[in-house]
Structure 1
């Protein structure tokens, strides 16, 4: 690997995000750090409300005006925290893009899909209307939209959910971004379409040498599509490492709970899925100590005293748990 490829493309250090809620200000993200080079893939996994999407919105500069962001986000060494909105607009959709979770709300119902895919090309690449349309049609064809030339003049409501997701992918990839964030890109799609879309994204990431962040609550999607992963809970990263290392030696009780709760092929009809007792805490109710303490089967008093440090359990595989000796011993339970 060359020295240029060894330089991180995007670096996040000690990211903290505080948001206004109906119950006052709450810490939505705490001490999140990671770095990605070109061609690398990172998965963020966890239940809804764990901070995954908020982290992604911070990278895109799309947090509410009332949000307070601490720490650092650097793209090619340029600090993005505190960047003015006009400067961020020059990056957003150009060097860093996002495939949003719900394509129907990501697309403007008042404009044709061809116009929407062409817009970032006109804004960031200064293409003429005719050039941008030609490139938009080529992108729509590339992502597998049938009869792209004719359907570029159709509106979002005239497409199926899978087709709308392909259109949002075309929009995100229009300017060949350096960093692609895919936030639950296959939610509510059937398994066949899900596989097609994930394969398409993987091919385009490899082809264009992008860094990709894939957000999902589906461990199977993460296992098959990223080389590294972070498990988030209560706004904090509770486990991180290579995907192979995390799946083979889950060091945090929360990761183990997610793994046990996954559906299993071959299970007898009527078999109940295992669940993690309790629910994700509200942002305004995050505990002082370990965010998972109230749901953890091996919790002790010391867990509630302070947010644990991440402990290296081998080869850069880290878990934010003071009881990794116990959790690792019981990982197969």
Structure 2
């Protein structure tokens, strides 16, 4: 992809996040590491509660004050863990931006969309009010909002869900960030609008040479929109690698379970979707061993003793599982796919 250079933009090493809950401290994220260069795209996939969004919030410096963060997050070699909020504010919306999951709650109902797009431009780029308004109209036009000049002074409730999502994209892109985080950006949209929004984001990432982290529970969205992916479960990365490589050789039983559970075109009416037995563990109940152990058809006693190390199974494809000798030898047969 154009815009990629050899120097890492984002380096996350052994990230851990501990949250305070009503039941005591909970380790929400464990041992998450990855590197992202300019122009690269990375997908985070997994069920709700697996740690995807909280990892993104850590990158944005938006965790609760009571949260404890260990490990390292570096942007262009500069450490972000422990950075004062005043300094983080200079990065947030400027060098790192985020498209949030639900546009109606991400937008302020009391302010016009033009004012909300103009805010980061005035704060970070010192644009005058007139300059910021002109750029807001240009951004709205770029993200495909009809009659941008005529609607720049409208309020969020006057737009459809797809149009509101385009507005949030315009806000996120206003300062041409180095890193764009898209957290389930199409969840509330119908299938046609989903495709339009994802195509728009992909075009803008390529056009501006940004790095992107796309968070989704949808394997199809990940397969079509990112070069590399990480599968998260129980707050840790259980499988990672080039997207094509992971899909061709799914090595973790959880990844295989997600793949089996996807809807399939051509299935007979009334066909029940396959499911992964059990439920995602609560943060306060995460086991010391493999977090997927209670739902895994291949579990052994040693799986519960300690969190397995990530094993390189070839080509930078890593799997955090002690049973790769079985799961990668014949996952379809083992798991009944």
Q: Does the pair score TM above 0.5?
A: yes
2:322 alignment counterpart: 322
**Who is 1:257 aligned against?**
257
Partner of 1:151: 151
Paired residue for 1:63? 63
> Secondary structure at 1:303's aligned position in 2?
helix
SS of 1:332's partner is helix
The Cα offsets for residues 9-34 of structure 1, whole Å up to 9 and x where unpaired, read as 00000000000111111000000000
Partner of 2:7: 7
CA distance in 2, matches of 1:330, 1:169: 42
* Cα distance in 2, alignment partners of residues 223 and 87 from structure 1: 36
- Cα drift, residue 332 of structure 1: 2.3
Cα distance in structure 2, aligned partners of 1:182 and 1:237: 18
Match in the other structure for 1:290? 290
Gaps of 5+ in 1: none
Report the counterpart of residue 120 of structure 2 in structure 1.
120
Shift of residue 330 of structure 1?
2.7
Residue in 2 that maps onto 1:187: 187
**Structure 1 residues 60-99: aligned runs within 5 Å:** 60-99=60-99
- In the alignment, what sits opposite 1:20? 20
After TM superposition, the score normalised by the length of structure 1 is: 0.99
Deviation at 1:71, TM superposition (A): 0.3
Alpha-carbon distance in 2 for matches of 1:329, 1:71: 34
Aligned to 2:302: 302
Partner of 2:203: 203
In 2, the alpha carbon distance for the partners of 1:288 and 1:25 equals 14
Q: Distance in 2 between matches of 1:184 and 1:87?
A: 27
Distance 1:151 1:48 in 2: 35
What residue number does 1:138 align with? Answer: 138
Aligned to 1:268: 268
Distance 1:241 1:57 in 2: 22
1:156-214 Cα offsets, whole Å, 9 max, x none, are: 01111000000000000000000000000000211111011001000000010000000
> What is the CA distance between 1:5 and its match in structure 2?
1.0
Q: Which residue in the other structure is 1:170 paired with?
A: 170
Q: Summarize deviations over 1:128-153 as a string: whole Å, max 9, x none.
A: 00000000010001001111111111
Q: CA deviation at 1:329?
A: 2.1
TM-score (structure 2 length as normaliser): 0.97
Query: Distance between the aligned counterparts of 1:50 and 1:218, measured in 2?
Result: 14
Where has structure 1 moved over 4 Å in runs of 4 or more? none
Inter-partner Cα distance in structure 1 for 2:229 and 2:331: 18
Which consecutive residues of structure 2, in runs of 5 or more, have no partner in the other structure?
Answer: none
The total of aligned residue pairs comes to: 333
Give the corresponding residue for 2:102.
102
Indicate the SS of the match to 2:332: coil
Secondary structure at the aligned position of 2:73 is classed as strand
For 1:272 and 1:330, locate their aligned partners in 2 and report how far apart those are by CA, in whole Å.
24
Quote how far apart the aligned CAs of 1:299 are.
Answer: 0.3
Residue in 1 aligned with 2:313? 313
- C-alpha separation between the residues in 1 aligned to 2:175 and 2:188? 27
Q: Is the 8 A contact 2:102 2:188 kept in 1?
A: no
CA distance in 1, matches of 2:237, 2:306: 15
Pairwise CA RMSD of aligned residues?
1.3
